[in-house]
């Protein structure tokens, strides 16, 4: 008889298999195949394999190790400690089982106690076994695992035993492959069904117009925890239950989420700190927000949670895009109507008609209001605000101010500017509206950085038809302030003093309105001879900053804040006097170059 050494202390004995052995093998393999076909459950299939193999070979125990990554995992046994199933692992090349997996060759060990490659595993209850045979389980070029048989008595496994084991291993490989294929197919079908059901549920919510709140509730129910929506900079936008749901009001946004390929990221946030899964909500390459979902330690449906996050973020992106588009259309429509009123040139009844249209769309134009205009101070800041997304940021900042401090005011944002219509109920006088304008400037400053902006205030409009006039005055105040080098200022049209004459002196009506605002008593009329003493006094008042003596106290420097610089070549002429060349001989006239 001829023998060859495959492993130290391991011998394979060559011999011829007789016809009875071949018949026995064939009968066993047919029976195994039939039993496997009628056993759909994987655990029952593995028990069948090791039970039939033990009976066919005539050994005391059979064990099945399956390859997972680079380790061999004890998957089934009928004689070793079954509590160790799923816990014992062997590295490829480790012990006799690992050597068989690495070499892809069978091994026979008559006495395991004398085999150097034998690895003792505590708790596996192998000390009572004496002999062992092991064969690789292969499916084509791929290693599936290793099949071992052991006996308590010393046994010389011959070539017939090894051939039989190899035939069983080949059949087992096919059975396991089919079982794994079936398992994967069932998993994929389950995932498809789950994905379809979740998609159908979210799609119905979106089509029904349920809104972001309902979508977040469904995401939370599917994921097994609370869900909330955050802005791209980490601030809470909407959620389920708001402050009572335990979700933090702000989260730290990991830099990895800004990448277009980023998916869910696990972070900790809140007090006390809790783990959250954060998913970007994207519309194409643009990130619209962040979906954050709490983590329930008892939840086991990871696949359902993953699908809820994936589909939920997609539907949230769709809903946010719809909301943004609808808001933009409505905002532009209402804004166009308001702009038409502010542009001027309308009769009173036409202005009132447009105001009623704007009110039906949600923009109520007040009858008495101050017009406040916010503009960028320079072209660079204006261009930066015109960039994509900046107008939304500016609108959001100003809307927040309106809701918290100026409820009832109307905001119209256009590119790099904004117009506020502040009802006189919110600001009874110029001082009050100047305070509100300062708040507008403070709210817009973070959006305008590193640039700056200024706010102009027109005079109080006493009707919808006067809003256009007040709007022009507010923008004129801004232009004159910038010409004087002012940046980041609040400028009212009324405080401009004599500078307004440079804009309006061509209009007698404008001059009368200007005089009306001064604390000088009843206005004079230019056409009334002998009653022009107040106009005669006008240059002196202009020189003093347009503060009447009754409005100015000794030591009060308030009037000096708006005192215009006296023109260098101007001549101040009192009644009945004339000074310098080119002076008028008429009473009370100031002449000079400006």
User: 149 vs 64, 80, 548, 567, CA distance in Å?
Assistant: 9, 11, 114, 113
Task: Name the one residue in this structure whose structure tokens are 């994905």.
Answer: 195
How far apart (Å, rounded) are the C-alpha atoms in residues 118 and 528?
126
- Edge-first strand listing for the sheet containing 142-151: 89-91, 71-77, 61-68, 142-151, 131-139, 107-109
Question: What dihedral do alpha carbons 535, 536, 537, 540 form, nearest 10°?
Answer: 110
Which stretch, 199-203, 249-253, 375-379, 560-564, has highest mean pLDDT? 375-379
Task: Name the one residue in this structure whose structure tokens are 């006799």.
Answer: 96
387 pLDDT tier (thresholds 50, 70, 90): confident
Annotate 170-205 with DSSP letters as a single string. Answer: HHHHHHHHHHHHHHHHHHHHHHHHHHHHHHHHHHHH
Sorted by where each starts, the structural domains of the chain and their CATH numbers stand as 3-184 (3.30.450.40), 210-327 (3.30.450.40), 344-496 (3.30.70.270)
**Whole-number average pLDDT of the chain:** 74
Annotate 383-402 with DSSP letters as a single string. Answer: HHHTSTTHHHHHHHHHHHHH
Task: Name the one residue in this structure whose structure tokens are 């979210």.
Answer: 202
Question: What sections of 344-429 are H helices per DSSP?
Answer: 348-360, 379-385, 390-405
Task: Name the one residue in this structure whose structure tokens are 């590119």.
Answer: 415
Single out the residue of 463, 462, 468, 485 nearest to residue 373, CA to CA. 468
Question: From start to end of 181-273, where are the E strands?
Answer: 227-230, 236-239, 265-269
Q: What is the pLDDT of residue 297?
A: 66
Contacting residues for 544 by C-beta, under 8 A, at least 6 apart: 552, 559, 563
How far apart (Å, rounded) are the C-alpha atoms in residues 87 and 80?
13
How far apart (Å, rounded) are the C-alpha atoms in residues 470 and 475?
9
Q: What is the pLDDT of residue 86?
A: 87
Single out the residue of 324, 412, 318 nearest to residue 372, CA to CA. 412
Q: What is the pLDDT of residue 204?
A: 81
The count of residues in the chain is: 594
- For residue 450, cis peptide bond before it (omega within 30 degrees of 0): yes
Confirm if 263 and 279 have CB atoms less than 8 A apart.
yes
> Tens digit of pLDDT for each residue in 213-245?
888 888 887 887 888 888 887 888 754 445 556
Q: What is the pLDDT of residue 12?
A: 43
Q: What is the pLDDT of residue 174?
A: 81
Confirm if 467 and 476 have CB atoms less than 8 A apart.
no
pLDDT of 1 strictly over 80: no
Instruction: Determine the average pLDDT of the residues in 70-96.
Output: 88
Confirm if 443 and 398 have CB atoms less than 8 A apart.
yes
pLDDT of 335 strictly over 90: no
Which stretch, 41-50, 154-163, 393-402, has highest mean pLDDT? 154-163
Contacting residues for 355 by C-beta, under 8 A, at least 6 apart: 337, 341, 365, 464
> Tens digit of pLDDT for each residue in 19-38?
666 676 777 777 777 776 77
Name the pairing type of β-strands 490-492 and 453-457.
parallel
Confirm if 590 and 539 have CB atoms less than 8 A apart.
yes
How far apart (Å, rounded) are the C-alpha atoms in residues 4 and 301?
53
- C-alpha triplet 63, 65, 68: angle, nearest 5°: 165
How far apart (Å, rounded) are the C-alpha atoms in residues 250 and 270?
8
Confirm if 451 and 468 have CB atoms less than 8 A apart.
no
Confirm if 223 and 275 have CB atoms less than 8 A apart.
no
User: 290 vs 238, 258, 476, CA distance in Å?
Assistant: 11, 11, 43
- If one compares 324 and 288, the residue with the highest pLDDT of the two is 288
pLDDT of 40 strictly over 70: no
Which stretch, 47-56, 98-107, 121-130, 175-184, has highest mean pLDDT? 98-107
160 pLDDT tier (thresholds 50, 70, 90): confident
User: 279 vs 197, 243, 291, CA distance in Å?
Assistant: 21, 21, 5
Q: What is the pLDDT of residue 511?
A: 57
Which stretch, 298-302, 342-346, 533-537, has highest mean pLDDT? 342-346
How far apart (Å, rounded) are the C-alpha atoms in residues 101 and 105?
8
pLDDT of 53 strictly over 60: yes
Task: Name the one residue in this structure whose structure tokens are 């923009």.
Answer: 363
How far apart (Å, rounded) are the C-alpha atoms in residues 420 and 395?
12
How far apart (Å, rounded) are the C-alpha atoms in residues 350 and 356?
10
455 pLDDT tier (thresholds 50, 70, 90): very high
- Sign (positive or negative) of CA dihedral 405, 408, 409, 412: positive
585 pLDDT tier (thresholds 50, 70, 90): very low
> Tens digit of pLDDT for each residue in 118-141?
888 888 888 888 899 999 999 888
Percent of the chain with pLDDT over 70: 72
Instruction: Determine the average pLDDT of the residues in 573-586.
Output: 38
Instruction: Determine the average pLDDT of the residues in 465-475.
Output: 87
Q: What is the pLDDT of residue 103?
A: 92
457 pLDDT tier (thresholds 50, 70, 90): very high
pLDDT of 100 strictly over 90: yes
Name the pairing type of β-strands 490-492 and 417-423.
unpaired
Q: What are phi and psi of 17, to 5 degrees?
A: -85, 130
Confirm if 545 and 556 have CB atoms less than 8 A apart.
no
412 pLDDT tier (thresholds 50, 70, 90): confident
Region of poorest pLDDT, from 82-96, 235-249, 303-317, 363-377: 235-249
45: left (phi over 0), alpha (psi -120 to 50) or beta: alpha
pLDDT of 546 strictly over 60: no
* Alpha carbon 432 to chain centroid, angstroms: 38
The 3-state secondary structure of 46-85, one letter per residue: HHHHHHHHHHHHCCCEEEEEEEECCEEEEEEECCCCHHHC
Instruction: Determine the average pLDDT of the residues in 332-336.
Output: 59
pLDDT of 558 strictly over 70: no
- If one compares 515 and 193, the residue with the highest pLDDT of the two is 193
Q: What is the pLDDT of residue 185?
A: 79
Burial 554-564 (b: 16+ CB within 10 A, else e): eeeeebeebbb
Q: What is the pLDDT of residue 438?
A: 92
pLDDT of 45 strictly over 60: yes
């Amino acid at each position: 008889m001829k023998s060859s050494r495959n492993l130290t202390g391991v011998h394979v004995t060559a011999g011829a298999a007789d016809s009875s052995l071949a018949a026995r093998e064939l009968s066993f393999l047919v029976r195994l195949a039939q039993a496997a076909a009628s056993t759909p459950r994987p655990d029952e299939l593995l028990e069948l394999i090791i039970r039939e193999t033990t009976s066919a070979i005539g050994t005391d125990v059979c064990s099945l190790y399956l390859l997972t990554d680079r380790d061999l995992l004890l998957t089934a046994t009928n004689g070793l400690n079954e509590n160790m199933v799923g816990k014992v692992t062997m590295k490829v090349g480790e012990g006799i089982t690992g050597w068989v997996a690495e070499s892809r060759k069978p091994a026979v060990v008559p006495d395991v106690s004398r085999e150097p490659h034998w690895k003792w595993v505590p708790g596996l209850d192998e000390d009572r076994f004496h002999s062992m045979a092991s064969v690789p389980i292969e499916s084509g070029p791929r290693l599936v695992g290793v099949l071992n048989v052991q006996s308590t008595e010393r046994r010389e496994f011959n070539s017939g035993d090894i051939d039989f084991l190899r035939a069983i291993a080949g059949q087992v490989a096919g059975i396991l492959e089919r079982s794994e294929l079936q398992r994967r197919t069932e998993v994929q079908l389950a995932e498809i069904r789950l994905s379809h059901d979740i998609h159908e549920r979210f799609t119905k919510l979106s089509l029904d117009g349920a809104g972001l709140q309902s979508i977040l509730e469904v995401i939370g129910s599917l994921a097994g925890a609370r869900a909330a929506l955050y802005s791209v900079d980490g601030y809470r936008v909407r959620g389920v239950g708001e402050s009572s749901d335990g979700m933090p009001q702000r989260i730290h946004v990991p830099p990895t989420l800004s990448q277009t390929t980023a998916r869910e990221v696990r972070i900790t946030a809140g007090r006390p700190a809790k783990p959250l899964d954060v998913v970007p909500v994207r519309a194409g390459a643009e990130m619209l927000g962040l979906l954050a979902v709490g983590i329930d330690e008892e939840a086991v449906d990871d696949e359902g949670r993953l699908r809820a996050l994936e589909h939920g973020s997609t539907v949230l992106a769709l809903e946010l895009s719809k909301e943004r588009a609808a808001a933009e259309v409505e905002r532009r429509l209402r804004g166009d109507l308001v702009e038409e009123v502010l542009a001027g040139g309308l009769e009173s009844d036409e202005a009132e008609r447009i105001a009623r249209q704007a009110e039906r769309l949600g923009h109520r134009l007040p009858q008495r209001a101050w017009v406040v205009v916010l503009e960028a101070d320079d072209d660079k800041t204006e261009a930066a605000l015109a960039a994509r997304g900046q107008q939304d940021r500016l609108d959001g900042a100003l809307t927040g101010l309106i809701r918290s401090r100026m409820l009832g005011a109307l905001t119209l944002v256009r590119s790099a500017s904004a117009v506020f219509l502040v009802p006189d109920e919110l600001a009874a006088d110029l001082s009050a509206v100047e305070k509100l304008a300062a708040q507008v400037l403070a709210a817009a400053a973070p959006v305008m950085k590193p640039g700056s902006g200024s706010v102009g205030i027109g005079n109080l409009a006493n009707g919808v038809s006067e809003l256009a006039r007040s709007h022009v005055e507010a923008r004129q105040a801004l232009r004159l302030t910038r010409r004087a080098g002012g940046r980041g200022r609040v400028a009212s049209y009324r405080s401009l003093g004599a500078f307004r004459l440079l804009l309006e002196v061509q209009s007698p009506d404008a001059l009368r309105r200007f005089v009306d605002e001064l604390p000088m008593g009843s206005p004079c009329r230019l056409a009334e001879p002998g009653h022009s003493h107040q106009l005669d006094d006008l240059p002196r008042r202009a020189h003093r900053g347009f503060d009447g003596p009754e409005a100015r106290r000794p030591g009060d420097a308030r009037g000096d804040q708006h005192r215009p610089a006296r023109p260098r070549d101007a001549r101040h002429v009192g009644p009945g006097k004339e000074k310098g060349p080119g002076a008028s001989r008429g009473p009370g006239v100031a002449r000079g170059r400006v």
